[in-house]
C-alpha cells in the first residue's frame, strides 16, 4: 500500500513523502529513519 506521510522539521517547514509499506506504523518508521529530525504529523493511505 502507499502512504502519504506529512512531516514538519525543526525550522517549521512542512513536507510530504509517499512511501510503500504494509501498514501505517511501518510507513511512519520508514520515513523516520531517513528524516530523524522531522516530526511525523500524519500518514494517510493513498490510491496511486
- Domain ranges across the chain: 2-46
Q: Residue 42: what pLDDT? A: 95
Check whether domain 2-46 has CATH 3.10.20, yes or no:
yes
42, 17 in Cβ contact below 8 A?
no
Structure confidence by residue, pLDDT tens digits, 1-48: 999 999 999 999 999 999 999 999 999 999 999 999 999 999 999 987
In this prediction the pTM is 0.84
Amino acid at each position: 500500500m502507499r502512504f502519504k506521510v506529512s512531516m514538519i522539521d525543526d525550522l517549521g517547514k512542512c513536507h510530504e513523502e509517499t512511501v510503500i509499506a504494509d501498514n501505517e506504523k511501518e510507513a511512519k518508521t520508514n520515513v523516520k529513519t531517513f528524516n530523524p529530525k522531522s516530526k511525523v504529523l500524519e500518514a494517510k493511505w493513498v490510491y496511486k
